[in-house]
Amino acid sequence: MLIFEHKEINGVQDGAYHHVLPNMCQSLMKFALKIAPAVRRSEKTALDKQRESKQKKQDLLRNKKILAVQKEYSNALTYIDMFHSPACWRTKNDAQKAFESLRSKAARMEAIKEQIRIRVIGFGWKDHHHAWSNYGVEYHPEDLFRHLIQKIIPEQTKRGIPEKPNMELPSRKATPQLGTLTSDVEALEHHYENDKEVVIKEAVKLRETLEAGGVTDRHEKLQPPRTSVEETMIYLEMSNCGCLRKKMEKSCPMVSRSCCCSEDKEYGAHSVKCRLFT
């Protein structure tokens, strides 16, 4: 067996093939020509499998990205709908009144987060996002509220309110242009726009599918934040109904619902309130 090593022989740095006998060179050349078609077919098959596997991985990654973009787009659509509903605090005065009507810290925090999400997620104003915490310590609702009324709400008159959210699909990298675009690049741009329209339609269908399955509920988000209910006031409403006990057993909350007031004519309105609250 010959081992062709690339080394210097007689002052000439050539391969060992050039230093074997002429008949052996011819024999090696004939053998190489004989097996060349089979070797090319084998290498082509291996390369095709590699390209196919690579393409499958790229398609899978692209589909995952498109699905994520569709979910973001459907979520942004809901937040834009929220801006045009009673759930949104459009002006500083509206924000001040709604914020002060919420008494608990948790209710204020969740409400102000939603107001910021309307602009950041719905409008795409990512540059006005505010972190919810700093080094593991949550910001106070008042801090987020100041950020909303001082920085975000004034931008509505400057930037305007978008009718629909932006969609960022995976696309080719933008490079500096020198001269006119080729037909191939224009075809790619046209294909990208067509894909974008299809993905937007699929995103709208995805939102309807999620709502039909009970995963999301856009109509719930369109409702304004509910103010906290004073428990003492609830008790006062119940105490006006003569047939209800002053102290109800916690183990049986259905007592007031099954109660039949004997003085419905006199306390009818109060009995209705009792059933609603309990």
- C-alpha closest to that of 117 among 158, 154, 96, 147: 147
- The pLDDT of residue 171 is 64
Following CA atoms 146, 149, 151, 157 in sequence, which dihedral angle do they give, to the nearest 10 degrees? 180
The answer on 214 and 80 residing in a single domain is yes
- Pair 98, 213 in one domain: yes
74 and 140 in a common domain: yes
pLDDT digits 0-9 by tens, 217-271: 888 888 887 655 555 555 554 444 444 444 444 444 444 444 444 444 444 444 4
Q: What is the model's pLDDT at position 16?
A: 74
Burial class (CB in 10 A: 0-12, 13-18, 19+), 118: buried
**Residues 99, 111 contacting (CB under 8 angstroms):** yes
Closest CA to 115 of 224, 275, 21, 211: 224
Say if residue 151 is in the same domain as residue 66: yes
Q: Inform me whether the pLDDT recorded for 151 exceeds 80.
A: yes
User: Does 128 reside within a domain?
Assistant: yes
Q: Give the pLDDT score at 274.
A: 42
Residue 181 lies in a domain: no
Looking at the fold, whether 152 and 242 belong to one and the same domain comes out as no
Look at residue 246 in the predicted model and tell me its pLDDT.
44
Asked whether residue 168 is assigned to any structural domain, the reply reads: no
238 & 216 share domain: no
Could you give the CA distance from residue 166 to residue 158 in angstroms, rounded to a whole number?
18
Q: Does some domain include residue 70?
A: yes
**40 against 14, higher pLDDT:** 40
Output the average pLDDT for the chain: 78
Q: Is 228 within 8 Å of 102 (Cβ atoms)?
A: yes
pLDDT band at 2 (very low <50, low <70, confident <90, very high): low
CA 194 from chain centre, in angstroms, equals 22
Examine the domain organization and report whether 122 and 259 are in the same domain. Answer: no
Evaluate whether residue 172 is within a structural domain.
Answer: no
Q: Inform me whether the pLDDT recorded for 109 exceeds 90.
A: yes
Residues whose CB is less than 8 angstroms from the CB of residue 70 and which lie 6 or more positions away in sequence, other chains included: 199, 202, 203, 206
* Contact between 82 and 224 (Cβ < 8 Å): no
* 210 plus 249 within the same structural domain: no
Residue 90 and residue 203 in one domain: yes
Same domain flag for 65 and 131 = yes
In a domain, 2, yes or no: no
Beta-bridge mates of residue 133: 138
Same domain flag for 209 and 101: yes
Distance, in Å, from the CA atom of 270 to the CA atom of 125, rounded to the nearest integer, reads: 49
Within a domain: residue 153?
yes
Average pLDDT over residues 114-134: 93
Please list, in sequence order, all residues whose beta carbon lies within 8 angstroms of the beta carbon of residue 139, skipping any fewer than 6 positions away. 130, 131, 132, 133
**Total tally of structural domains belonging to the chain:** 2
More confident residue, 138 or 194: 138
Kindly indicate the confidence band of residue 142, based on its pLDDT and cuts at 50, 70 and 90.
very high
Cα 81 from Cα 92, distance rounded (Å): 19
Residue 85: give the domain boundaries: 59-161+195-221
Same domain, 131 and 236: no
Is residue 81's pLDDT more than 50? Answer: yes
Question: pLDDT, tens digit, for every residue of 25-65?
Answer: 889 889 999 999 999 999 999 999 999 999 999 889 888 88
pLDDT in tens, 172-219: 666 676 667 666 666 766 666 777 788 888 888 888 888 888 888 888
Average pLDDT over residues 117-122: 94
Domain presence at residue 47: no
